[in-house]
Amino acid sequence: MEDHPFASWLGRTETVEDELGATQARAAAAMLDLPSNSFEPGTPLPPLWQWFYFLPQAPQAHLSIDGHPQRGGFMPPIELPRRMFAGSRLRFLQPLRIGQPARREGRIRAINQKSGRSGKLVFVTVDYTYLQNEQCCIEEQQEIVYREPGAPVPAPTPSELPAVPEGAWTRMITPETPLLFRFSALTFNAHRIHYDRPYAMEAEGYPGLVVHGPLTAVLLLELVRQHTTRPITSFNFRGQAPLFDLAPFRLVALPGDTEVALEAQAPDGSVALRASAGLG
């Protein structure tokens, strides 16, 4: 590991505190077309909604051309230009509660360099622990991928979606620009591929605006919450391919005894994001 170019970043830590204000939860509910009057101080924060808190606060002058904070600091200064949230694994031990101080502790677990069809890749694995009243509420392991520019990404050709298994829960999502903008605002994510169409198409080679992977993950877990009152104990997701604001895509959930298998299907029927939710 001595010749690893980012060896000094392994084990690096970061602590972020937040009051978990009700305003942020109510705004998230509005974005998701959910009732917002139930989010009073002390009520549980829905799973995955911790992503609307503990936000990055890089000064405007410290943003890179793509809208992300400049490299370095907690995350290593990887020079590959494309940065994406590749996936996450979470355990929900007890709910965070709105209006009470909480803390997120992060630690860089691993940095791995690989080669893929699009060229060089670097995967950064970060462990996060969310605490409230010194009790661990959520454990999360995120994977961030950095890659070379690669060839332009073609737009998917809409086609008839495949039949879903009996008993599956489904929902069609129209990824309109205001939805993408609101999610960017709620997560204080200035990555331009989600709201700046000329930049997304001309600088990064996408056919349209890119749907946030975490937004798709939140929508999938909300589909589960709409159909069961059982507690959600875990959630894992992995992005397979980007979704765009060019056509509706479909969410599919297949419930089992202790787990719900989840997919986000692109307009051509391919799987763009695969996930699973554990049930208590």
Domain positions in the chain are: 1-150, 152-280
CA angle 193, 199, 201 (to 5 degrees): 85
Domain 1-150 matches domain 152-280 at the CATH topology level: yes
170/4: higher pLDDT: 170
Q: Give this prediction's pTM.
A: 0.95
pLDDT single digits (tens) 15-24: 999 999 999 9
Complete DSSP assignment for 182-206: HHHHHTT---GGGT-HHIIIIIS--
pLDDT single digits (tens) 232-258: 999 999 999 999 999 999 999 999 999
Match 């875990």 to its residue by tokens. Answer: 234
Q: What is the mean pLDDT of residues 105-120?
A: 88
Does the structure show a pLDDT above 80 at 117? no
Cβ count near 154 (within 10 Å): 9
**Cα(91)–Cα(34) distance, rounded to whole angstroms?**
24
Span 1-150 CATH architecture: Roll (3.10)
Domain 152-280 homologous superfamily, CATH: Hotdog Thioesterase (3.10.129.10)
Joined together, the tokens standing for residue 125 give: 């694995």
pLDDT single digits (tens) 124-137: 999 999 999 999 99
The half-sphere exposure of 91 on its side-chain side, counting CA atoms within 13 A, is: 7
Cβ count near 16 (within 10 Å): 17
Contacts of 245 (CB under 8 A, 6+ apart): 175, 176, 177, 180, 208, 209, 211
